[in-house]
């Protein structure tokens, strides 16, 4: 890469990237390196964006660090062989991912209308990502490479479908994705350690079926694992499906989880216990990998990718979330234990931004799945793993063992602000306002830091609803926490002489929600929050979530009691319109 000085503004070295700074995606780039083959070829539903926020790029850079020759094929044409064959056949295995977003969520709205835009496709037009991308790409490989090396699945689309799961788009239960995809093995969750161990095992031609963090198909059961209801039992009995999901959900922690074994026809889906989480040094090491933070030139000729507007100069501070909203799959995929990067490592990343000629001193986000979970965890969970059938935070309480402490987060944000070249460091990730309320020692100080320095005109919060019985089904805090926080936020804005707003994310047609509930939500937002909601979305039942289980079974998984579930598309949209319809009222401060 070449370096030059920029004359306007502060003097600094800037970087210009060539194809050699990326992992190769064409045969010509392999030739530049003198490669006759790739050890591993990664296939993704995204264009090749070389960023730490893109899972398949992280995998590629990790394998590169291990000494392997890695090729990348993003969004291959599925109607002809040119793309999938352009790098040849890998020596060890194919890695297949649907991309950063589940392909069905990426392609369809909650009311099953096709989405015209795609933030991970050059030019933004949604014409490159196939439905059920994992299945399509695996079949594409097998079509043109007979008797090929193993195909390894990874990424969120595969991870959330690793056991029998409800498919909203076909409105039925589907088999574990390994059975439909004809792939050989899956790395589930974040799977960083499993990736290294599986790759070494394949290279050394060793049996890999004992590696933690993988799923595979077996002709024989593993009797020492938890025996899940069979796929057929789930089809026959909705309560059996709830039983399956309970065991699936409760066995995602590396410390406390057991393996799972599910009969599917005449064979068995085997899920080994999860691999260990990365420690802080390992998190730092992955963040130091040589990402360009750019779209590969091969794809850039077709236009820009919108996602780079937000992720290019953003910083991921941690993995995991213990918020456990029932409609969210982060807890199942990333885990319910927070793994943090060190403050020094995060600060160094902020310094590195100065090398980019298009960096204007604005960091788009300093956060994670939930920004204010950085820097603290439950001591009991760190020693014994997550608790069975108990959540750290629920609709009506925060576990007493979870000592919320924003002190380390405050210190981190102050250090990032002090980095030379930083004009603004925003926190755009989700914030749990109930955690700010719960932190009697540092919550006020944290919010003050946010209001003074880290909000770009508005702060986004996600109450999702205000009716208690729906919040209970969602796993969200009660509306009292929201009102309490709003009063504090408004008061702090006045103290600081600022006029920054709160914006609220809301969900319509979640299981349990009727039109009357949306009318009450509208009344509450108008009369008590003094605002007209604009950020409302219709609920999507995505695999790997309790809310999807509710949608399919029409039962509360805890009580097994029947609940109302709106399944008519027009009435779902009507629920949304009830709350976003403009009302005329006198707006209050910080509306």
**Residue 520 and residue 433 share a domain:** no
Q: Could you tell me if residue 259 is inside a domain?
A: no
**How many domains, in total, are found in the chain?**
3
Q: Could you tell me if residue 228 is inside a domain?
A: no
Q: Pairing state of beta strands 151-153 and 185-187?
A: parallel
- For residue 284, how many C-alpha atoms fall within 13 Å in the half-sphere facing its CB? 11
Q: Could you tell me if residue 538 is inside a domain?
A: yes
Q: What pLDDT does residue 586 have?
A: 43
Q: What pLDDT does residue 256 have?
A: 95
Binding-site residues from annotation for [4Fe-4S] cluster: 321, 325, 328
| CA–CA separation, 587 and 591 (whole Å) | 6
DSSP 426: -
Which of 168, 188, 215 is the last residue in one of the domains? 215
Q: What angle do CA 32, 100, 454 make, to 5 degrees?
A: 105
**Residue 536 and residue 445 share a domain:** no
Transcribe 289-355 into DSSP letters. Answer: S----EE-HHHHTT---TTHHHHTTEEE-EE------TT--HHHHT-SS-EE--HHHHHHHHHHGGG
Transcribe 172-194 into DSSP letters. Answer: EEE--HHHHH--SEEE-SS-HHH
| CA–CA separation, 151 and 141 (whole Å) | 9
Q: What pLDDT does residue 554 have?
A: 98
Q: What pLDDT does residue 395 have?
A: 67
CATH code, 570: 3.30.750.200
Which of 386, 419, 454 is the last residue in one of the domains? 454
The neighbouring-strand residues paired with 425 are 363
Q: What pLDDT does residue 532 have?
A: 86
Give the closest residue to 546 by CA, choosing from 250, 269, 110: 250
**Residue 388 and residue 479 share a domain:** no
Q: What pLDDT does residue 7 have?
A: 35
CB 185 within 8 A of CB 159: no
**Residue 122 and residue 47 share a domain:** yes
Q: Could you tell me if residue 11 is inside a domain?
A: no
Which of 454, 471, 500 is the last residue in one of the domains? 454
Which residues 6+ apart lie within 8 Å of 435 measured at CB? 372, 373, 393, 398, 404, 406, 443
**Residue 128 and residue 117 share a domain:** yes
CB 271 within 8 A of CB 188: yes
CB 228 within 8 A of CB 163: yes
**Residue 507 and residue 399 share a domain:** no
| CA–CA separation, 515 and 522 (whole Å) | 11
Phi, psi of 217, deg, nearest 5: -100, 135
**Residue 100 and residue 34 share a domain:** yes
Q: Pairing state of beta strands 172-174 and 185-187?
A: unpaired
Q: What pLDDT does residue 12 have?
A: 58
Binding-site residues from annotation: 321, 325, 328
CB 215 within 8 A of CB 271: yes
Coil, helix or strand at residue 224: coil
Q: Could you tell me if residue 83 is inside a domain?
A: yes
**Residue 49 and residue 29 share a domain:** yes
Q: Could you tell me if residue 277 is inside a domain?
A: no
Phi, psi of 351, deg, nearest 5: -65, -35
Coil, helix or strand at residue 480: helix
Q: Could you tell me if residue 211 is inside a domain?
A: yes
Q: Could you tell me if residue 507 is inside a domain?
A: yes
| CA–CA separation, 541 and 568 (whole Å) | 14
CATH code, 430: 3.30.750.210
Q: What pLDDT does residue 357 have?
A: 95
Coil, helix or strand at residue 481: helix
**Residue 50 and residue 181 share a domain:** yes
Give first-to-last CA distance, the chain, whole Å.
48
| CA–CA separation, 440 and 430 (whole Å) | 20
**Residue 449 and residue 503 share a domain:** no
Task: Going residue by residue through the chain, which has 591 residues, state the pLDDT in tens, using 9 for 90 and above.
Answer: 333 333 334 445 788 899 999 999 999 999 999 999 999 999 999 999 999 999 999 999 999 999 999 999 999 999 999 999 999 999 999 999 999 999 999 999 999 999 999 999 999 999 999 999 999 999 999 999 999 999 999 999 999 999 999 999 999 999 999 999 989 999 999 999 999 999 999 999 999 999 999 999 999 999 999 999 999 999 999 999 999 999 999 999 999 999 999 999 999 999 999 999 999 999 999 999 999 999 999 999 999 999 999 999 999 999 999 999 999 999 999 999 999 999 999 999 999 999 999 999 999 999 999 999 999 999 999 999 998 778 898 767 889 889 999 999 999 999 999 999 999 999 999 999 999 999 999 999 999 999 999 998 889 899 999 999 999 999 999 999 999 999 999 999 999 999 999 999 999 999 999 999 999 999 999 999 988 887 799 999 999 999 999 999 999 999 999 999 999 999 999 999 999 987 644 443 333
Range of 354's domain? 313-454
**Residue 468 and residue 414 share a domain:** no
**Residue 413 and residue 392 share a domain:** yes
Phi, psi of 363, deg, nearest 5: -90, 120
* Number of Cβ atoms within 10 Å of the Cβ of 27: 14
Give the closest residue to 320 by CA, choosing from 307, 332, 303, 302: 332
């Amino acid at each position: 890469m070449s370096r030059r000085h920029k004359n306007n503004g502060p003097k600094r070295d800037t970087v210009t990237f060539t194809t050699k700074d990326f992992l190769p995606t064409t045969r010509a780039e392999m030739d530049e390196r003198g490669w006759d083959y790739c050890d591993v070829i990664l296939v993704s539903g995204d264009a090749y964006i070389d960023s730490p926020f893109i899972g398949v790029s992280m995998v590629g850079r990790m394998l590169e660090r291990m000494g392997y020759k890695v090729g990348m094929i993003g969004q291959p044409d599925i109607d002809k062989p040119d793309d999938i064959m352009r790098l040849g056949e890998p020596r060890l295995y194919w890695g297949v991912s649907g991309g950063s977003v589940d392909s069905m969520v990426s392609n369809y709205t909650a009311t099953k209308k096709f989405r015209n835009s795609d933030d991970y496709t050059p030019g933004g037009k949604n014409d490159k990502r196939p439905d059920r991308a994992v299945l399509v790409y695996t079949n594409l490989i097998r079509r043109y490479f007979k008797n090929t090396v193993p195909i390894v699945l990874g990424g969120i689309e595969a991870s959330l479908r690793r056991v029998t799961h409800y498919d909203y788009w076909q409105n039925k239960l589907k088999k574990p994705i390994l059975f439909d995809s004809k792939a050989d093995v899956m790395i589930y969750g974040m799977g960083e350690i499993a990736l290294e161990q599986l790759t070494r095992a394949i290279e050394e031609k060793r049996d890999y079926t004992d590696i933690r963090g993988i799923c595979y198909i077996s002709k024989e059961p593993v009797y020492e694992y938890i025996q899940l209801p069979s796929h057929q039992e789930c089809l026959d009995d909705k309560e059996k499906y709830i039983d399956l999901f309970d065991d699936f959900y409760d066995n995602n922690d590396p410390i406390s989880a057991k393996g799972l074994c599910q009969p599917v026809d005449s064979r068995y889906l085997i899920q080994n216990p999860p691999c260990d989480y990365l420690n802080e040094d390992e998190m730092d090491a992955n963040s130091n990998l040589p990402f360009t933070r750019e779209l590969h030139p091969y794809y850039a000729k077709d236009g820009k990718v919108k996602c780079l507007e937000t992720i290019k100069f953003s910083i991921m501070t941690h993995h995991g979330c213990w918020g456990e909203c029932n409609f969210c799959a982060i807890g199942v995929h990333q885990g319910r234990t927070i793994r943090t990067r060190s403050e020094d490592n995060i600060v160094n990343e902020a310094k590195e931004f100065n090398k980019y000629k298009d960096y204007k001193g604005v960091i788009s986000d300093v956060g994670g799945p939930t920004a204010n979970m950085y820097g603290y965890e439950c001591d009991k969970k760190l020693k014994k793993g997550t608790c069975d059938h108990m959540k750290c935070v629920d609709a009506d309480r925060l576990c007493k063992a979870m000592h919320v402490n924003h002190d380390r987060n405050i210190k981190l944000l102050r250090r990032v602000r002090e980095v030379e070249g930083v004009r603004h460091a925003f926190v755009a990730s989700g914030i749990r306002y109930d955690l700010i309320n719960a932190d009697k020692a540092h919550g006020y100080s944290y919010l003050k830091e946010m209001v003074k320095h880290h909000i770009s005109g508005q702060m986004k919060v996600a109450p999702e609803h205000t009716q208690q019985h729906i919040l209970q089904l969602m796993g969200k805090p009660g509306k009292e926490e929201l009102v309490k926080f709003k009063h504090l936020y408004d008061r702090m804005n006045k103290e600081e002489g600022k006029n920054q707003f709160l914006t609220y994310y809301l969900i319509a047609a979640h299981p349990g929600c009727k039109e009357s509930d949306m009318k009450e939500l509208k009344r509450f937002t108008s009369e008590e929050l003094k605002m007209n909601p604009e950020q409302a979305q219709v609920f999507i039942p995505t695999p790997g979530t309790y809310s999807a289980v509710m949608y399919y079974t029409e039962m509360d998984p805890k009580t097994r009691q029947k609940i109302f579930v709106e399944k008519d598309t027009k009435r779902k949209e009507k629920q949304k319109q009830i709350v976003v319809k403009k009302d005329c009222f006198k707006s209050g401060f910080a509306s």
